[in-house]
A and B are shown apart, each in its own frame.
Chain A
Amino acid sequence: MNNEDEIIRQILLGNKELYRELVLNYQKMVFSTCMGFVHNKDDASDLTQEIFIQAFLSLKDFKGKSSFSTWLYRIAVNASLNRIKRPVRTWPGYHQGENEDERTLISVADNDDPEKMLIQQEHKRWVQKALDSLPENQRVAIVLSKYDDLSQREIAEIMDTSEGAVEALLQRAKAGLRKKLSHFRKNF
């Protein structure tokens, strides 16, 4: 039994404070995954919190068949996919994925080239939209690859599929992204 298994065992016996150790160890990992889906720091923080609470409540069901990180990644991916499917309340001028500071007027005093700033922000939105437009499986694979730097073997374990299938998903995702980005560039 490794140290992490012992920590989980103690948590289930009632020593909740030990869960802090798991949170600290995996917080960045979960947050990065969430960023790949929601592209917004505040939303990613809320989602990360939701994921860790869900993981805590489901800890009794963790059988140890996979590593704890794999199990946590699955919860993070499912929660992120559910979050992006939720209808978002919008108001005129709101673009999902933008931080509040991006929606405010650019102060000329703070930036020498506001036009360049606008172009950069617009390009960022292109990239986010291109990622968001991918089919679900491709999106999951590309987020785990690009945002979490996971190997194809690790992604295959999380997605419960073969390495070959993950490779195919990544290739299709990258081809899709190239196509979307060149389309956006032509229309800008």
Chain B
Amino acid sequence: MEKMEEYLEGKMPPDTKTQVEAHLRECEQCNNLYMELLSAEEVIREEKELLPDPFLTSRIMAKVESTIINEPRRSLSPVSILKPLVITISAAAAIFAGIVLGYSLTHFNNGAEKAPSELALSNDAVIESVNFLANE
């Protein structure tokens, strides 16, 4: 069988080829197999000889023109992993600081209505009449 492959592919030395051909003339089974393999090679040859659609290149290039070449994929590095994390944490911290500041300002404004009593006296001193102060 292996010799038949060699014979089909034309890779046989001339003297061996002669022997194979003599055998094929005498052995019907081998000859039938040879013809079968030969016709199979013919089927493959016919398929090989087919040419692609003449407009195939144009179709391919039309699709190529409409695509975008992406940047080469970068390998993962500690910086590429940490950078988005740092940005997220910074944004969260800024929001938190804003909330705290806002709360603090609100709290301070509310505390001003509860000034110490000394401040109340000094306010009263402002509105006391001038005559009273002069009699002291």
Residues of chain A having any CB pair with chain B under 8 Å: 11-12, 14, 16-17, 19-20, 23-24, 27-28, 31-32, 35-36, 39, 41, 44-45, 48-49, 52-53, 56-57, 59-61, 123-124, 127-128, 130, 146-147, 171, 174-175, 177-178, 181-182, 185
* B69 adjacent to A12 (CB under 8 Å): yes
CB distance from B82 to the nearest CB of A (A): 26
CB distance from B72 to the nearest CB of A (A): 5
In the complex where A12-B69, A147-B44, A178-B1 touch, is A49 in contact with B59 (Cβ < 8 A)? yes
Q: Which residues from B are CB-within-8-Å of A48?
A: 52, 56
Closest to B70 in A: A60
Q: Which residues from B are CB-within-8-Å of A175?
A: 1
9 further interface pairs, Cβ-Cβ under 8 Å (given A52-B64, A177-B40): A14-B69, A16-B64, A39-B47, A44-B50, A56-B64, A57-B67, A130-B40, A174-B5, A177-B37
* A147 adjacent to B48 (CB under 8 Å): yes
CB distance from A171 to the nearest CB of B (A): 8
Q: Which residues from A are CB-within-8-Å of B5?
A: 174
* B60 adjacent to A52 (CB under 8 Å): yes
* B72 adjacent to A127 (CB under 8 Å): no
Complex CA distance for A47 and B45, rounded to whole angstroms = 20
Q: Which residues from A are CB-within-8-Å of B60?
A: 23, 49, 52-53
Q: Which residues from A are CB-within-8-Å of B69?
A: 11-12, 14, 16, 59-60
* A123 adjacent to B52 (CB under 8 Å): no
Q: Which residues from B are CB-within-8-Å of A17?
A: 61
* B44 adjacent to A23 (CB under 8 Å): no
* Contact of B36 with A by CB under 8 A: yes
CB distance from A170 to the nearest CB of B (A): 9
